[in-house]
Chains A and B, each alone.
Chain A
Amino acid sequence: MNKPVDTPKKKFHTSPLKLNLRTKTILIIVLTASMLVAIVINSLFIDVSTITTNFSSINLPPSFEHLFGTDWMGRDMFTRTLKGLGLSIMIGALASIISTVVAVILGLSSGMNKYLDSFVSWLVDLFSSIPHLLLIILISISLGGGVIGVIVGVGVSHWTTLTRVIRAEIKQINTSEYVHLSKNFGKSKWWIAKKHILPLILTQVVLGVILVFPHAIMHEASVTFLGFGLSPHEPAIGIILSESMKYLATGVWWLAFFPGVSLLIIVLLFDLVGDNLQKILDPTNAHE
């Protein structure tokens, strides 16, 4: 009786229909992720040879039969776009993994000693002072263009941000109590890194991959659009859009519109996954 009543907090009452933030966030992540996976799987099953040229149905505007219309060779733009998106996502994935691996290696080694640390921060400076796009072009040229060129180019130009984050994180961990203790017990640096540092930066790494992804996809499309990436035979979004430029003047707007919108949506979906994942893993800013 004497216990003070916990007055219900009006402000925080949620209606039964409104999901709580945790459920909502997880739901968004799961839905978006499965959508992306579905696109990749779908595109894997599209055989490029089935995107047939059909001169009886060239330059058709969007219809139920051809959702995104057809191009000047009568190819179905929806199928081409889907295939291109799948390609973009896979390239993006590989590139983000490369950049994350680079970032982790450099970030960890910067924690090893002072010289390595200043070398790494110099490298970061170096790579962030060449415009990304030029760097990707250079790397792509040096590898003779093609898929490998783009993947490596995008991967190698996107590690700097994550490296900075990991470096800062390690600095913080290194000054903490238990790392000092371990040092006093004569543990090797690698042991400390494996035991204490890696688990803590794992969150950053997972987030890093996801957050680099959208940039990777967009850069891939850009370089390909400029003509440095994939060969013109591959149905990459960049290729489709650069081809569409030749036909713009004839008013076939759907050639440029739909593939671009699809790419935009994919990038947005990745952003959504990234943001929500960040919220779950690091909820300091979750209220709003």
Chain B
Amino acid sequence: MIESENMKNKNMKSENLESRNITVTEKSEESKELLSVSNISISFLQYTKGLRKNLLKVISDLTLSVSSGEIVAILGSSGSGKSLLAHAILGILPNNADLTGEMTFEGKELDQKFKEKLRGKEIALIPQSVNFLDPLMKVADQVIGETVDEEDKKAKKAHQREVFEKYGLDEKVDDLYPFQLSGGMARRVLVSTALLQNPKLVIADEPTPGLDDVAIQETLNNIKQMAAEDRGVLLITHDINAALKVADKIAIFYSGYVIEIANVEDFTDDGENLIHPYTRALYKALPQNGFNLYKGHQPFHGELPEGCVYSDRCDQNTDSCMKINPDLREIEGKKVRCHRGHRKYSR
């Protein structure tokens, strides 16, 4: 059911795609589940002044899945641990991080060894900023990667040129150092790195901030194009508009929890199809929906309330909300973490 909706969506969206070099090819096969993440938590062992040990839980009990040809957006404010999720999938978390939970890729368990095998090949990362490029290496040299001999180098170089060309990066860019790239150029370089291989899953970490409207549109088109080529895309962003423009599903992050995974069509009209009170508040805060700002702030990692993480700001909380943290449950094809939602829809 969801799938057919996705297809419809895609057709609709492809109409307003810009035509620069990119043509959207129609998706051919049935989409299948690529990445499945269930109940993962990420915490940090930290030492505070006086060397007191502190376990900081940044992501709690996160469940999510991405299918091929599908764009799933993760929407969360900055510092909420979105990048960490991306790094966890790729197996590049810092040493003091602890990861629990399960992940599978195409049905196979995704352990550290498997991650190392997949990354850069089946799974590609579009990193958050130009800081993710080696500051002392010319752009082309580093995206090409290691080469075994001259021939290999030539072939890889040619391929890199081809991909760069596709993204409107001319030959001069090849010999620039990362700090010499302008914002838009840097973004295009980062996006293009994902397609140097032929990945099944692309994880794009905050690809839009700092860009002007044209560049944002261009980047989003590129991402749509990737999905159209039947890749799965995990789009990490704090920009709800960007998410609404391209995503099929949107997972809302709140204080380290995914509180709702909604379909993009739910973000229409009054938002009455949105179940979680926070998602609704978020939606209502959009300028086109009346700009109803919501009060308060998300509890920081490490000072979460006992019950529902949203309970101190929620206008519909009940006693049980203060005591019991709701699970992420499936309701009408969506996933929600809210007692009220459960009550309302499970009847």
Q: How far is the CB of B59 from chain A (nearest CB, A)?
A: 11
Residue ID in chain B nearest A22 by CB atoms: B51
Cross-chain pair count, CB within 8 angstroms? 53
Q: How large is the interface on B (under 10, 10 to 19, 20 to 34, 35 or more residues)?
A: 20 to 34
Binds B, one of A2-10, A69-77, A111-119: A2-10
| C-alpha spacing A20/B327, complex, angstroms | 34
Determine if B49 and A11 form an interchain contact, defined as CB atoms under 8 angstroms apart: no
Q: Which residues of A contact B60 (CB under 8 A)?
A: 4
| C-alpha spacing A2/B257, complex, angstroms | 14
Q: Which residues of A contact B327 (CB under 8 A)?
A: 2, 4
Does B229 lie at the interface of the complex (its beta carbon under 8 Å from any beta carbon of A)?
no
Does A281 lie at the interface of the complex (its beta carbon under 8 Å from any beta carbon of B)?
yes
Does A286 lie at the interface of the complex (its beta carbon under 8 Å from any beta carbon of B)?
yes
CB within 8 A of A283: which of B41, B47, B324?
A: B47
| C-alpha spacing A20/B48, complex, angstroms | 13
Q: Which residues of B contact A3 (CB under 8 A)?
A: 324-325
Interface string of A249-288 (1 = CB under 8 A from B): 0000000000000000000000000000001111100110
Known: A9-B55, A287-B95. A21 touches B47 (CB 8 A): yes
Determine if A2 and B324 form an interchain contact, defined as CB atoms under 8 angstroms apart: yes
Q: How far is the CB of A192 from chain B (nearest CB, A)?
A: 24
| C-alpha spacing A52/B55, complex, angstroms | 60
Known: A2-B326, A2-B327, A21-B47. A9 touches B98 (CB 8 A): yes
Residue ID in chain A nearest B325 by CB atoms: A3
Determine if A21 and B61 form an interchain contact, defined as CB atoms under 8 angstroms apart: no
Determine if A12 and B47 form an interchain contact, defined as CB atoms under 8 angstroms apart: no
Known: A2-B327, A9-B55. A281 touches B49 (CB 8 A): yes
| C-alpha spacing A3/B327, complex, angstroms | 7
Residue ID in chain B nearest A1 by CB atoms: B324
Does B52 lie at the interface of the complex (its beta carbon under 8 Å from any beta carbon of A)?
yes
| C-alpha spacing A34/B202, complex, angstroms | 58
Residue ID in chain A nearest B100 by CB atoms: A7
Known: A4-B61, A12-B55. A286 touches B324 (CB 8 A): no
Interface residues of A in 14-51 (CB under 8 A from B): 20-22, 25
Determine if B55 and A286 form an interchain contact, defined as CB atoms under 8 angstroms apart: no
| C-alpha spacing A76/B51, complex, angstroms | 44
Q: How far is the CB of B326 from chain A (nearest CB, A)?
A: 6
Interface residues of B in 12-71 (CB under 8 A from A): 39, 41, 43, 45-53, 55, 60-61
| C-alpha spacing A281/B325, complex, angstroms | 37
Q: Which residues of B contact A11 (CB under 8 A)?
A: 98
| C-alpha spacing A242/B49, complex, angstroms | 45
Determine if A20 and B326 form an interchain contact, defined as CB atoms under 8 angstroms apart: no
| C-alpha spacing A3/B60, complex, angstroms | 11
Residue ID in chain B nearest A203 by CB atoms: B49
| C-alpha spacing A287/B47, complex, angstroms | 7
Q: How far is the CB of A23 from chain B (nearest CB, A)?
A: 9
Determine if B48 and A283 form an interchain contact, defined as CB atoms under 8 angstroms apart: yes
| C-alpha spacing A128/B268, complex, angstroms | 68
Which of B52, B53, B96, B324 neighbours the largest number of chain A CB atoms within 10 Å of its CB? B53
Determine if A9 and B100 form an interchain contact, defined as CB atoms under 8 angstroms apart: yes
Q: Which residues of A contact B47 (CB under 8 A)?
A: 21-22, 279, 283, 286-287
Interface residues of A in 108-167 (CB under 8 A from B): none
Q: How far is the CB of A228 from chain B (nearest CB, A)?
A: 42
Determine if B51 and A25 form an interchain contact, defined as CB atoms under 8 angstroms apart: yes
| C-alpha spacing A2/B328, complex, angstroms | 10
CB within 8 A of A12: which of B45, B52, B325?
A: B45
Determine if A283 and B325 form an interchain contact, defined as CB atoms under 8 angstroms apart: no
Residue ID in chain A nearest B50 by CB atoms: A280
Determine if B52 and A9 form an interchain contact, defined as CB atoms under 8 angstroms apart: no
| C-alpha spacing A7/B42, complex, angstroms | 11
Q: Which residues of A contact B52 (CB under 8 A)?
A: 22
Residue ID in chain B nearest A23 by CB atoms: B51
Q: Which residues of A contact B98 (CB under 8 A)?
A: 9, 11-12
Q: Which residues of B contact A282 (CB under 8 A)?
A: 49
Residue ID in chain A nearest B101 by CB atoms: A7
CB within 8 A of B41: which of A7, A279, A286?
A: A7
Q: How far is the CB of B233 from chain A (nearest CB, A)?
A: 28
Interface residues of B in 289-347 (CB under 8 A from A): 324-327
| C-alpha spacing A9/B39, complex, angstroms | 14
Q: Which residues of A contact B51 (CB under 8 A)?
A: 21-22, 25, 279-280, 283, 286
A–B complex contacts, Cβ < 8 Å, 27 sampled: A2-B324, A2-B327, A3-B324, A4-B41, A4-B60, A4-B325, A4-B327, A9-B43, A9-B45, A9-B100, A12-B98, A21-B51, A21-B53, A22-B50, A22-B51, A22-B52, A22-B53, A25-B51, A279-B51, A280-B49, A280-B50, A283-B47, A286-B47, A287-B45, A287-B46, A287-B47, A287-B96
Residues of chain B having any CB pair with chain A under 8 Å: 39, 41, 43, 45-53, 55, 60-61, 95-96, 98, 100, 324-327
Enumerate the 9 nearest inter-chain pairs by beta-carbon distance, A residue then B residue, closest first: A283-B47, A22-B51, A286-B47, A4-B61, A287-B96, A2-B324, A9-B98, A7-B100, A3-B325
